[in-house]
Amino acid sequence: MITGAVPLETLMHEHPGEIKAQILEADGNVVMRKTCPKHGEFEDVMSTDPAFLARIESLFFGRDFRAAEDKDVHRHGTSNIKFGRGAVLTVDLTNRCNMMCNPCFMDANQVGYVHEPTFEDTKAILDRAVSFKPRRQVIILFSGGEPTLSPYYLDAVAYAKKIGFYRILAATNGIRFAEDLEFCKAAKAAGQHGVYLQFDGVSEEKNKHRGVGNLFDVKLRAIENLAEAGIKVTLVVTIVNNLNNDGIGQIVEFAAKNIDKVQTIAFQPVSFTGRDEDISDELRKKWRYTLAGMTHDLRDQLGGHIQPLRDWFPLSSYSAFTSVMDMLQGADAPWGWSSCNCHPNCGIFTLLVVNKNTGEFKSLFEFFNYEQFMKDVAVITDTARGRKLSYAQLGMAIMRNFSAERAPEGFPISQIINLFKPSSTNSNSDRNDRMAQKTADANDTWRVLCVEGMWFQDLFNYDFRRTEMCVIPYGTQEGEISFCAYNTGVGWRQIIENMHKTAGLAEWYQENGRHKVYAAGKAVPLNTTKHSLSLPVIQAVLAEDAEEKPAFVSPYLVETPEEETVSL
Q: Which of 126, 122, 177 lies closest to 148, judged by CA?
A: 177
Q: How far is the CB of 294 from ligand SF4 (least distance, A)?
A: 14
In this complex, which beta carbon is closest to ligand SF4, that of residue 198 or of residue 401?
198
Amino acid (1-letter code) at residue 511: E
Q: How far is the CB of 282 from ligand SF4 (least distance, A)?
A: 25
Listing from the earlier edge strand, what are the strands of the sheet with 29-36? 21-26, 29-36, 40-47
Q: How far is the CB of 480 from ligand SF4 (least distance, A)?
A: 11
In this complex, which beta carbon is closest to ligand SF4, that of residue 122 or of residue 487?
487
Amino acid (1-letter code) at residue 536: P
Rounded distance, CA 254 to CA 150, Å?
31
In this complex, which beta carbon is closest to ligand SF4, that of residue 450 or of residue 472?
472
Rounded distance, CA 414 to CA 22, Å?
47
Q: How far is the CB of 215 from ligand SF4 (least distance, A)?
A: 26
In this complex, which beta carbon is closest to ligand SF4, that of residue 427 or of residue 457?
457
In this complex, which beta carbon is closest to ligand SF4, that of residue 86 or of residue 536?
86
CB contact at 8 A, 339 and 347: no
Environment class of residue 281 by beta-carbon count within 10 Å: exposed (0-12), middle (13-18) or buried (19+)?
exposed
Q: How far is the CB of 133 from ligand SF4 (least distance, A)?
A: 20
Amino acid (1-letter code) at residue 365: F
In this complex, which beta carbon is closest to ligand SF4, that of residue 86 or of residue 201?
86
Q: How far is the CB of 483 from ligand SF4 (least distance, A)?
A: 3
Q: Which of 20, 25, 59, 60 lies closest to 45, judged by CA?
A: 25
Q: How far is the CB of 170 from ligand SF4 (least distance, A)?
A: 18
Rounded distance, CA 508 to CA 513, Å?
7
Strand pairing partners for 26?
29
Q: How far is the CB of 330 from ligand SF4 (least distance, A)?
A: 29
In this complex, which beta carbon is closest to ligand SF4, that of residue 312 or of residue 361?
312
In this complex, which beta carbon is closest to ligand SF4, that of residue 339 or of residue 381?
339
In this complex, which beta carbon is closest to ligand SF4, that of residue 324 or of residue 471?
471
Task: Tell how strand 232-239 and strand 40-47 pair up.
Answer: unpaired
CB contact at 8 A, 560 and 205: no
**Which residues make up the interface to ligand SF4 (CB under 6 A)?**
342-343, 346-347, 454-457, 466-467, 470-472, 482-484
CB contact at 8 A, 502 and 508: yes
SS3 83: strand
Environment class of residue 419 by beta-carbon count within 10 Å: exposed (0-12), middle (13-18) or buried (19+)?
buried
Q: How far is the CB of 86 from ligand SF4 (least distance, A)?
A: 8
Taking the C-alpha atoms of 74, 75, 80 and 83 in order, what is their torsion angle to the nearest 10 degrees? Answer: 30
Q: How far is the CB of 346 from ligand SF4 (least distance, A)?
A: 3
In this complex, which beta carbon is closest to ligand SF4, that of residue 289 or of residue 518?
289
Q: How far is the CB of 407 from ligand SF4 (least distance, A)?
A: 32
Q: Which of 365, 397, 369, 401 lies closest to 381, judged by CA?
A: 397
- Residue 186, CA distances (Å) to 98, 155, 181 in order: 21, 10, 9
In this complex, which beta carbon is closest to ligand SF4, that of residue 192 or of residue 457?
457
- Residues 6 or more apart in contact with residue 15 via CB below 8 angstroms: 77, 78
Q: How far is the CB of 19 from ligand SF4 (least distance, A)?
A: 18
In this complex, which beta carbon is closest to ligand SF4, that of residue 319 or of residue 445?
319
Rounded distance, CA 114 to CA 102, Å?
20
3-state SS string for 170-188 = EEECCHHHHHCHHHHHHHH
Amino acid (1-letter code) at residue 322: T
